[in-house]
Amino acid sequence: MWADLARHTNRLVPDASVAAVADALDYLCLAQLYLSDNPLLTRPLAPADIKPRPAGHWGVCPPVNRMLAALGPLQAAVPDGYELHVLHGAGHAGPSALAHAYLTGRLGNAHPGLSQSEAGLGELVSGFPRADIGGEITPMIPGHLHTGGQLGPALAIGQGTVLDAPHRLSVVLIGDGECETGTTAASWLATRALHGTGDHGTVLPVVLLNGLRMGGPSVLSMLSRSELTAYFTGLGHRPVYSDGLDIAQLRQALAEALDAAQPLGIPGPSSVLVVTLDKGHGAPAPLAGTPAVHKTPLRDPAGVPAEFDALAVWLTSYQPDQLLTSSGRPRPHLLPALPLSRTKPDRIAASRGCVAASAQVAVHAAGRPFAKVVSEILRTRAERGAFRVFSPDELASNRLDLTDEYGRPAPWAVEVLSEELCHAWAQGYTETGRHALVATYEAFAPITLSLIQQQLKHRAVRRHAGLAPLPSLVYLLTSLGWHNTLTHQNPSLTTALLAGGDPTLHVLTPADPARTAAALAFALRKLDRCTIVVADKHSTVHHPLETLDEELRHGIAVWPH
């Protein structure tokens, strides 16, 4: 479906419109970095128009802008019942996300002071980097997914977003430096662990092979084209290449990549689009291709005449008056390539009566062993749908039997020997409105500490922006540190998370299997929390339950017995 839609829009929307959108995005990024006034160059540039201390990232913007422009007609044509998400890896493309949200009108809908108007355009440009929205990608920029500042998990998070969502396409923009991380490297192969786990949507990875990390050449850029093809082929992906310069060829490559893209979990090769546009494309010649393009290539154009002249030529080369009207709106020839604002999805309904329902779970579980009651809780929740369990090869070790009568693993329970992937899949799943649980050892959970902390910060920003709450992140940790051998004595995850003071964090240490069952049932019904349930899988001691309501409400109670 997606490839047919891409080919259809390639015929329907002129390449010139897409190229104009790419130019407009480039110009708005550059203007945000450098200009404090005169956003459309309606008069000759003057040193007073330039920010005294330019700040932000230019390098990643040109390749991101070309991808956003190429995807625009496709986004505009998505039929009802289908979804197309763009997920950014590194957050440095903040100027691109802001510029794109401005051109589509979404930014003005969310932040009226940044609407498409002369005043709104002036505020967009002069106000960057913004204290209220941020200079990098945040949840306050509508239309762009970026789930925290961690470098590496974007591809896995994108995979999580399409699980059990055959109607969804997630296009994941991955920097070539990000491809050097272990999490990204594992994500390519890990799709094999999803074979036979349900009916899923499609992920199209787009590697922005721009040649540079922040400080020098990326490892991926050191491979020849044949080596690069062999690398991706060995990972189970068919690479489709574009230099990003010719918009018509880029759109054709996008359609070709979508044609070869397989829904997640389908055996056989899928595709990856590799865009080789140079980092910081368009920067002045002496700086192009150097690490200087990562941020602001011209450091002091207001004070250095040669830099001022270079910036003036650079800005005017885009002919901004041909892209935007004097009232700050995109000119008509851009409109066919711009997706319109869409209605926000319905809010997720909060569960009612969580304490009472969870207390009933405990009563039913009283006196029964951990293995029976916890497995039963997870099975019961899975029967209600939109639920997944992820574990780093430790379900059996954690006494969780989630197999069918023939010993086959339940399709909604996925194991892969990477704590980072388990978290990222759960993160993508919950960020798209479904419930998930990560089950692992307490001793190994600190591996995901940074990922959890970044997700908590991301969720905090969502709340600040007034966005709808999402299902909670829930961890079940077993193998208490003081019960096991030296290698399994690391309860530091809870210590580090509690030190952050996030009010949505709940650490529960249920004293027996019935309380563990109740705690999990409670956590899986709540929204917008991070709940860490630390439980003893070996426990055979059972305690009276008369204080259970208080324990669930407040996390602590005085036991009269």
CATH number at residue 513: 3.40.50.970
Q: How far apart are CA 185 and CA 191, in angstroms?
A: 12
Of the candidates 312, 337, 362, which is a domain's last residue? Answer: 337
Mean pLDDT of all residues in 10-38: 98
Please tell me whether residue 306 adopts helix, strand or coil conformation.
Answer: helix
pLDDT band of residue 345 (cuts 50, 70, 90) is low
DSSP 8-state secondary structure symbol assigned to residue 387: E
| Per-residue pLDDT tens over the stretch 258-275 | 999 999 999 999 999 999
111 DSSP 8-state letter:
-
In DSSP terms, 173 is beta-bridged to 88, 206
Is pLDDT larger for residue 413 or for residue 408? Answer: 413
> How many domains is the chain built from?
2
- Asked if 143 and 83 sit in the same domain, the reply is yes
Alpha-carbon span 278 to 84, nearest angstrom? 26
Distance from chain centroid for Cα 275: 20
Task: Tell me which residue range forms the domain holding 393.
Answer: 354-554
Residue 438 to residue 418: CA distance in whole angstroms = 11
CA gap 40, 322 in Å, rounded: 10
3-class DSSP state of 118 = helix
Q: How far apart are CA 552 and CA 348, in angstroms?
A: 22
- Which one of 337, 367, 392 terminates a domain? 337
561 within a domain of the structure (yes/no) = no
Q: Is the pLDDT of residue 323 over 90?
A: yes
Q: Do 311 and 363 share a domain, yes or no?
A: no
CA terminus-to-terminus distance, the chain: 63
- Poorest-confidence range of 213-217, 272-276, 383-387? 213-217
Instruction: Answer yes or no: do 467 and 534 share one domain.
Output: yes
Q: Rounded to whole angstroms, how far apart are CA atoms 39 and 47?
A: 13
For residue 170, list its beta bridge partners: 85, 203
Last residue of a domain, one of 307, 337, 367: 337
The pLDDT of 269-290, averaged and rounded, is 94
Q: DSSP label at 252? A: H
Distance CA 535, CA 511 (A): 7
With residues binned 3-state (H G I as helix, E B as strand, rest as coil), the percentages for the chain, rounded to 5, are 45, 15, 40
| Domain shared by 443 and 329, yes or no | no
Please indicate, yes or no, if residue 197 is contained in any of the structural domains. yes
Give CA–CA dist 55/486, Å, rounded: 48
Q: Is 353 left (phi over 0), alpha (psi -120 to 50) or beta?
A: left
- As a whole number of angstroms, the distance between CA 4 and CA 405 comes to 42
Residue type, 444: F
Same domain, 291 and 367: no
Indicate whether 444 and 330 sit together in one domain.
no
Tell me whether residue 349 is exposed, middle or buried, using C-beta atoms within 10 angstroms of its C-beta: 0 to 12, 13 to 18, 19 or more.
Answer: exposed
Percent of the chain with pLDDT over 90: 82
What average pLDDT does the structure give for the chain? 93
Does the residue 392 lie in any domain? Answer: yes
Which phi and psi (to 5°) does residue 125 adopt? -75, -50
Residue 114 lies in a domain: yes
Element (H, E) at 230: helix 225-234
Which residue's structure tokens are 């299997």? 513
* DSSP secondary structure letter of residue 494: H
Residue 350 predicted with pLDDT over 90:
no
Would you say 267 and 191 are in contact if contact means Cβ atoms under 8 Å apart? no
Separation in Å, CA 62 to CA 24, 76, 276: 11, 21, 11
- CB count in 10 Å sphere of residue 229: 15
Average pLDDT over residues 73-86: 96
Residues 310 and 407 in one domain: no
Instruction: Note whether residue 349 is domain-resident.
Output: no
Report CA-CA distances (Å) from 498 to 233, 508, 553: 43, 12, 18
Where helices occur in 267-349 by DSSP H, the ranges are 305-316
**CB–CB of 217/279 below 8 Å?**
no
Q: Please give the radius of gyration of the chain, using alpha carbons only, rounded to the nearest integer.
A: 25
Considering the domain architecture, whether residues 183 and 308 belong to the same structural domain is answered as yes
Q: Which DSSP string do the residues of 22-68 spell out, in sequence order? A: HHHHHHHHHHHHHBSS-TT-SS---GGGB-SS--S--TTHHHHHHHH
pLDDT of residue 205: 98
Does pLDDT of 33 surpass 60? yes
Residue 206 within a domain: yes
Highest mean pLDDT among 129-143, 485-499, 509-523: 509-523
Same domain for 253 and 107: yes
Same domain, 470 and 544: yes
> What is the rounded distance in angstroms from the CA atom of residue 519 to the CA atom of residue 516?
5
> Which tokens is 469 given?
């709450």
Per the CB < 8 A criterion, the answer to whether 440 and 487 are in contact is: no
pLDDT digits (tens, 9 = 90+) for 1-22: 999 999 999 999 999 999 999 9
What does the pLDDT read at residue 406? Answer: 85
pTM score above 0.85: yes
Asked whether residue 464 falls in the same domain as residue 392, the answer is: yes
To which residue do tokens 């990390």 refer? Answer: 213
Please list, residue by residue across 139-152, b when 16 or more beta carbons sit within 10 angstroms of its beta carbon and e when fewer do: bbbbbbbbbbbbbb
| Tokens representing residue 449 in the block | 């500490």
Sheet of 83-88, strands arranged across? 83-88, 168-175, 202-208, 270-275, 237-242
User: What pLDDT is recorded for position 473?
Assistant: 96
Are 164 and 255 members of one domain? yes
Query: What's the angle, vertex CA 476, arms to CA 472 and CA 482, rounded to 5?
Result: 140
